[in-house]
Amino acid sequence: MGSQYRLLTLFADGGLMMYPLVLCSMISVGVMIAKFFTLRIAHKGSNRVLEDVDELVKRGDVTGAIELCYNTPGPASAILLAGLRRIEGKKLNDGELESAVATVGTIELSFLERGLVILATIANVAPLMGFLGTVYGMVMAFAAIEAAGNVDPALVAGGIKVALLTTAAGLVIAVPVNIAYNFFVTRIDQLVTDMEHGASKIMSLAWDLERDGKIEIVKSGT
Protein backbone atom coordinates (compact mmCIF):
# COMPACT_ATOMS: atom_id res chain seq x y z
CA MET A 1 0.00 0.00 0.00
CA GLY A 2 2.87 2.34 0.90
CA SER A 3 4.63 1.76 -2.42
CA GLN A 4 1.41 2.42 -4.36
CA TYR A 5 0.93 5.68 -2.47
CA ARG A 6 4.52 6.60 -3.21
CA LEU A 7 4.02 5.99 -6.94
CA LEU A 8 0.86 8.09 -6.96
CA THR A 9 2.71 10.87 -5.14
CA LEU A 10 5.54 10.80 -7.70
CA PHE A 11 2.99 10.81 -10.53
CA ALA A 12 1.21 13.83 -9.04
CA ASP A 13 4.51 15.67 -8.45
CA GLY A 14 5.60 15.08 -12.04
CA GLY A 15 2.98 17.43 -13.41
CA LEU A 16 0.98 17.41 -16.62
CA MET A 17 3.64 15.68 -18.74
CA MET A 18 3.22 12.52 -16.68
CA TYR A 19 -0.17 11.90 -18.33
CA PRO A 20 1.12 11.52 -21.93
CA LEU A 21 4.09 9.53 -20.60
CA VAL A 22 1.76 7.07 -18.85
CA LEU A 23 -0.30 6.86 -22.05
CA CYS A 24 2.87 6.07 -24.02
CA SER A 25 3.78 3.34 -21.55
CA MET A 26 0.33 1.74 -21.81
CA ILE A 27 0.40 1.82 -25.61
CA SER A 28 3.92 0.38 -25.76
CA VAL A 29 3.08 -2.45 -23.36
CA GLY A 30 0.04 -3.37 -25.45
CA VAL A 31 2.02 -3.32 -28.71
CA MET A 32 4.90 -5.32 -27.20
CA ILE A 33 2.59 -8.05 -25.89
CA ALA A 34 0.74 -8.33 -29.21
CA LYS A 35 4.01 -8.30 -31.17
CA PHE A 36 5.60 -10.97 -28.98
CA PHE A 37 2.78 -13.46 -29.51
CA THR A 38 2.44 -12.61 -33.22
CA LEU A 39 6.11 -13.28 -33.91
CA ARG A 40 6.11 -16.37 -31.71
CA ILE A 41 3.26 -17.89 -33.73
CA ALA A 42 4.86 -16.84 -37.02
CA HIS A 43 8.21 -18.38 -36.13
CA LYS A 44 6.77 -21.66 -34.87
CA GLY A 45 7.23 -24.51 -37.31
CA SER A 46 8.83 -22.45 -40.11
CA ASN A 47 11.84 -24.73 -40.52
CA ARG A 48 9.79 -27.90 -40.27
CA VAL A 49 7.28 -26.91 -42.93
CA LEU A 50 10.06 -26.34 -45.50
CA GLU A 51 11.30 -29.90 -45.08
CA ASP A 52 7.81 -31.44 -45.02
CA VAL A 53 6.67 -29.59 -48.16
CA ASP A 54 9.78 -30.66 -50.04
CA GLU A 55 9.12 -34.29 -49.16
CA LEU A 56 5.41 -34.16 -50.05
CA VAL A 57 6.00 -32.50 -53.43
CA LYS A 58 8.71 -34.98 -54.34
CA ARG A 59 6.19 -37.76 -53.65
CA GLY A 60 3.74 -36.01 -55.98
CA ASP A 61 1.35 -35.00 -53.17
CA VAL A 62 0.96 -31.31 -54.02
CA THR A 63 -2.53 -31.24 -52.47
CA GLY A 64 -1.13 -32.54 -49.19
CA ALA A 65 1.61 -29.91 -49.28
CA ILE A 66 -0.99 -27.19 -49.85
CA GLU A 67 -3.05 -28.44 -46.92
CA LEU A 68 0.05 -28.51 -44.71
CA CYS A 69 0.96 -24.93 -45.59
CA TYR A 70 -2.64 -23.80 -45.11
CA ASN A 71 -2.71 -25.24 -41.59
CA THR A 72 0.74 -23.95 -40.60
CA PRO A 73 0.87 -20.27 -39.58
CA GLY A 74 3.81 -18.14 -40.60
CA PRO A 75 5.18 -16.14 -43.54
CA ALA A 76 7.24 -19.01 -44.94
CA SER A 77 4.10 -21.16 -45.14
CA ALA A 78 2.21 -18.33 -46.85
CA ILE A 79 4.89 -18.05 -49.55
CA LEU A 80 4.97 -21.79 -50.10
CA LEU A 81 1.16 -21.86 -50.26
CA ALA A 82 1.07 -19.12 -52.93
CA GLY A 83 3.59 -21.00 -55.06
CA LEU A 84 2.03 -24.44 -54.59
CA ARG A 85 -1.41 -23.21 -55.63
CA ARG A 86 0.04 -22.11 -58.94
CA ILE A 87 2.01 -25.32 -59.36
CA GLU A 88 -1.17 -27.31 -58.69
CA GLY A 89 -2.62 -25.95 -61.95
CA LYS A 90 0.09 -27.84 -63.91
CA LYS A 91 0.54 -24.88 -66.26
CA LEU A 92 2.22 -21.57 -65.45
CA ASN A 93 2.95 -18.44 -67.40
CA ASP A 94 6.55 -17.29 -67.36
CA GLY A 95 7.08 -15.05 -64.30
CA GLU A 96 3.72 -15.93 -62.73
CA LEU A 97 5.26 -17.91 -59.89
CA GLU A 98 7.86 -15.23 -59.10
CA SER A 99 5.18 -12.52 -59.10
CA ALA A 100 2.92 -14.48 -56.73
CA VAL A 101 5.76 -15.22 -54.30
CA ALA A 102 6.95 -11.59 -54.35
CA THR A 103 3.44 -10.25 -53.70
CA VAL A 104 2.82 -12.56 -50.76
CA GLY A 105 6.29 -11.79 -49.39
CA THR A 106 5.56 -8.06 -49.44
CA ILE A 107 2.23 -8.55 -47.67
CA GLU A 108 3.73 -10.81 -45.01
CA LEU A 109 6.65 -8.46 -44.37
CA SER A 110 4.24 -5.56 -43.95
CA PHE A 111 2.26 -7.61 -41.42
CA LEU A 112 5.41 -8.56 -39.50
CA GLU A 113 6.57 -4.94 -39.26
CA ARG A 114 3.20 -3.67 -38.07
CA GLY A 115 3.57 -1.87 -34.74
CA LEU A 116 7.33 -1.31 -35.01
CA VAL A 117 6.81 2.32 -36.01
CA ILE A 118 4.80 2.88 -32.83
CA LEU A 119 7.55 1.39 -30.65
CA ALA A 120 10.28 3.35 -32.43
CA THR A 121 8.29 6.58 -32.05
CA ILE A 122 7.68 6.04 -28.34
CA ALA A 123 11.34 5.12 -27.75
CA ASN A 124 12.40 8.40 -29.36
CA VAL A 125 9.64 10.68 -28.09
CA ALA A 126 9.34 9.56 -24.44
CA PRO A 127 12.74 10.97 -23.36
CA LEU A 128 12.01 14.22 -25.19
CA MET A 129 8.63 14.51 -23.49
CA GLY A 130 10.34 13.85 -20.15
CA PHE A 131 12.94 16.52 -20.87
CA LEU A 132 10.20 18.97 -21.86
CA GLY A 133 8.47 18.27 -18.55
CA THR A 134 11.76 18.89 -16.74
CA VAL A 135 12.30 22.22 -18.48
CA TYR A 136 8.76 23.28 -17.65
CA GLY A 137 9.22 22.19 -14.03
CA MET A 138 12.48 24.11 -13.73
CA VAL A 139 10.84 27.25 -15.11
CA MET A 140 8.02 26.93 -12.59
CA ALA A 141 10.49 26.24 -9.75
CA PHE A 142 12.53 29.36 -10.53
CA ALA A 143 9.32 31.36 -10.88
CA ALA A 144 8.32 30.23 -7.39
CA ILE A 145 11.75 31.21 -6.03
CA GLU A 146 11.47 34.61 -7.71
CA ALA A 147 8.02 35.14 -6.22
CA ALA A 148 9.25 34.17 -2.74
CA GLY A 149 11.91 36.87 -2.86
CA ASN A 150 14.62 34.84 -1.17
CA VAL A 151 16.54 31.69 -2.05
CA ASP A 152 15.52 28.80 0.17
CA PRO A 153 17.77 25.74 -0.48
CA ALA A 154 14.91 23.40 0.42
CA LEU A 155 12.62 25.12 -2.12
CA VAL A 156 15.29 24.92 -4.83
CA ALA A 157 16.05 21.25 -4.15
CA GLY A 158 12.36 20.35 -4.05
CA GLY A 159 11.67 22.12 -7.31
CA ILE A 160 14.57 20.44 -9.09
CA LYS A 161 13.54 17.02 -7.73
CA VAL A 162 10.01 17.40 -9.02
CA ALA A 163 11.25 18.71 -12.39
CA LEU A 164 13.54 15.71 -12.91
CA LEU A 165 10.73 13.21 -12.32
CA THR A 166 9.47 13.50 -15.89
CA THR A 167 12.95 12.92 -17.33
CA ALA A 168 13.30 9.79 -15.20
CA ALA A 169 9.83 8.61 -16.28
CA GLY A 170 10.67 9.18 -19.96
CA LEU A 171 13.88 7.15 -19.67
CA VAL A 172 12.15 4.36 -17.74
CA ILE A 173 9.69 4.05 -20.64
CA ALA A 174 12.19 4.48 -23.48
CA VAL A 175 14.84 1.96 -22.36
CA PRO A 176 12.66 -1.21 -22.29
CA VAL A 177 10.77 -0.10 -25.42
CA ASN A 178 14.05 0.33 -27.29
CA ILE A 179 15.25 -3.11 -26.13
CA ALA A 180 11.95 -4.67 -27.21
CA TYR A 181 12.15 -2.90 -30.59
CA ASN A 182 15.62 -4.31 -31.30
CA PHE A 183 14.50 -7.77 -30.17
CA PHE A 184 11.51 -7.70 -32.53
CA VAL A 185 13.66 -6.47 -35.43
CA THR A 186 16.01 -9.41 -34.88
CA ARG A 187 13.10 -11.87 -34.83
CA ILE A 188 11.67 -10.35 -38.02
CA ASP A 189 15.05 -10.66 -39.73
CA GLN A 190 15.01 -14.38 -38.87
CA LEU A 191 11.53 -14.70 -40.35
CA VAL A 192 12.60 -12.84 -43.48
CA THR A 193 15.38 -15.41 -43.87
CA ASP A 194 12.76 -18.17 -43.57
CA MET A 195 10.69 -16.40 -46.22
CA GLU A 196 13.68 -16.28 -48.55
CA HIS A 197 14.27 -19.99 -47.99
CA GLY A 198 10.60 -20.63 -48.76
CA ALA A 199 10.79 -18.62 -51.98
CA SER A 200 13.97 -20.42 -53.01
CA LYS A 201 12.38 -23.77 -52.16
CA ILE A 202 9.24 -23.21 -54.21
CA MET A 203 11.23 -21.98 -57.22
CA SER A 204 13.51 -25.00 -57.02
CA LEU A 205 10.52 -27.33 -56.79
CA ALA A 206 8.92 -25.69 -59.84
CA TRP A 207 12.09 -26.13 -61.90
CA ASP A 208 12.39 -29.77 -60.84
CA LEU A 209 8.75 -30.47 -61.71
CA GLU A 210 9.15 -28.75 -65.10
CA ARG A 211 12.24 -30.82 -65.81
CA ASP A 212 10.35 -34.01 -64.96
CA GLY A 213 7.46 -32.97 -67.22
CA LYS A 214 4.94 -32.71 -64.39
CA ILE A 215 4.16 -29.03 -64.99
CA GLU A 216 4.49 -26.69 -67.94
CA ILE A 217 5.89 -23.17 -67.79
CA VAL A 218 4.76 -21.19 -70.82
CA LYS A 219 7.52 -18.85 -71.95
CA SER A 220 6.71 -15.31 -73.07
CA GLY A 221 6.04 -15.01 -76.79
CA THR A 222 5.27 -18.71 -77.30
Report the candidate in 107, 106, 65 with the shortest Cα–Cα distance to residue 86: 65
pLDDT at 154: 67
As a whole number of angstroms, the distance between CA 74 and CA 81 comes to 11
- pLDDT value at position 54? 77
**Nearest Cα to 112, choosing from 222, 220, 188, 196?**
188
Sequence-distant (≥ 6) Cβ neighbours of residue 5 within 8 angstroms = none
- Picking from 60, 59, 103, the residue whose alpha carbon sits closest to that of residue 81 is 103
**Within the chain, what is the greatest distance between any pair of CA atoms?**
95
pLDDT, residue 179, reads 96
**Per-residue model confidence (pLDDT) at position 199:** 85
Over the chain (222 residues), what is each successive 10-residue block's mean pLDDT? Answer: 58 74 93 91 76 79 84 85 80 78 88 92 93 82 72 67 83 94 93 85 79 71 52
Q: What pLDDT is stored for residue 171 in this prediction?
A: 93
Sign of CA dihedral 143, 144, 149, 152: negative
DSSP β-ladder status, 216-218 and 91-93: parallel
| Three-class secondary structure of residue 92 per DSSP | strand
What are the residues whose beta carbons fall under 8 Å from the beta carbon of 147, sequence distance 6 or more?
A: none
Q: What is the pLDDT of residue 166?
A: 86
